[in-house]
Each structure stands twice: as structure tokens, then as C-alpha cells.
Amino acid sequence: MIIEGQSQLQPPNPLPVPTVNFTATQVVVQVGDKFYGIPREALQRHRHSLFEQVLQQFEQAQKAGQSGVVTIVRNPTHFPLILTYLTHGLTRLTLRDVDLEVLEHLLIEAEFYQLPELCGFVKAQLKPELSREVVQHLLKRPTAPRNFTGARLVGLDLSRLNFVSVEVKGILFLPFSVLPPAF
């Protein structure tokens, strides 16, 4: 019962199932050298993913009287995030402070496990987002390219930034002291 994927790990020798007791409502999955108990209902919610195959293999093994541990040959580093998504959906999955490299790896894992909703969520997190400090830094450098195309500036407080000589789609911002007073 091995599901193979491209991984940095070699296919493992079967490890003994840890002494941690998994409940009867959990499917035992070995990812790399780690064991996880995933609630059956979590796997049933993701029918058109790789976890449908995991659930089928687990149930077949139980019917045949085998241990029922399904092995997925993958690096287990990011599986806890996948597990959080499986059990709680996007509601508990917070990726705001997650490193860009982790997001890229999570996207690869979500694609491997065939989880389209998670793929879309991670792709949205990977869009360029500018902080106030980055915008301020770019505006201070006279020779820096100032291309903010596709950047998400929603919720960003830019009220104290100096937009002198900034061109936005052909419009030149002039210093406020040069503008005539509005009557």
C-alpha cells in the first residue's frame, strides 16, 4: 500500500507503526518517516483528490486483515499544513506569515495531493504583496524601477509617503505646494 510521488526521500523500508493509539475513525497514513491519524470524514470530504485513493487502500487493507497503514512516499515537512487543510478546511489555515519558499513547496504538495481549493488559496497568497516599507524604499530610490503592476495594496497605509514625481499610468504627481488651492 504505497503511493509514490516525486520526493527527495528514497522509498522507505516499512517502519513499525508507532505505539501511539489511533482511533477506529482515523486512517493511519505514513508520510516519509512520520505517521498521521487522519479522520475518515476529512478524507471523505476530498473525494476527487489523492486522499480518495488513500481511503480506498486503507479500507481494503482492513478488510483483508492487514495493518491498514497507507504509505505516501513524500517529504513530510509540509504535510502538517496539508493535514490542517484536510481536517479544518481553509478556516484554520493561516499562511499570512509563512515564508515564500514554504508557500511554493505547499503549492507543489497541494498539486500532488490534487487539492484544487488549496492550490487556489496558496496561489492567491503567492501574488506579490507590498508592505509600506517596500513602497517607501522604492519611492526613495530615484533610479529604481517603480512597477507596481499586479501588487496588492489593499489595507496598506500609504498616507505618510511622499509621492512627489511618481508617475501612475501617465499621470504625474506634483508636490502639493505647487498645486493651486481649490476654492
Output the DSSP codes for 65-108.
TS--PEEEES-GGGHHHHHHHHHHGGGS---TT--HHHHHHHHH
| Per-residue CA distances from 80 to 76, 95, 106, 128, 157 (Å) | 8, 13, 10, 25, 34
Domain with CATH 3.30.710.10 in the chain: 2-126
pLDDT tens-digit map of 115-159: 999 998 888 887 655 566 666 666 666 555 555 555 555 556 666
- Report which of residues 176 and 48 the model is more confident about: 48
Q: Which fold has domain 2-126?
A: Potassium Channel Kv1.1; Chain A (3.30.710)
Q: Binning pLDDT at 50, 70 and 90, where does residue 98 land?
A: confident
In this prediction, residue 9 carries a pLDDT of 33
- Predicted structure pTM score: 0.60
Nearest CA among 131, 111, 130, 112 for reference residue 121 = 111
* DSSP of 149-172: TT-B-TT---TT---TT-EETTEE
> Average pLDDT of 1-30?
60
| Other beta carbons less than 10 A from residue 85's beta carbon | 24
| Cβ atoms within 10 Å of 116's Cβ, excluding its own | 12
Q: Average of pLDDT values for 56-64?
A: 86
pLDDT value at residue 135:
65
- What's the number of CA atoms in the CB half-sphere (13 Å) around residue 93? 21
Residue 1 has pLDDT above 70, yes or no: no
Assigned C-alpha cell, 35: 505517521
Phi, psi of 160 (to 5 degrees): -100, 10
Give mean pLDDT, residues 26-53.
91
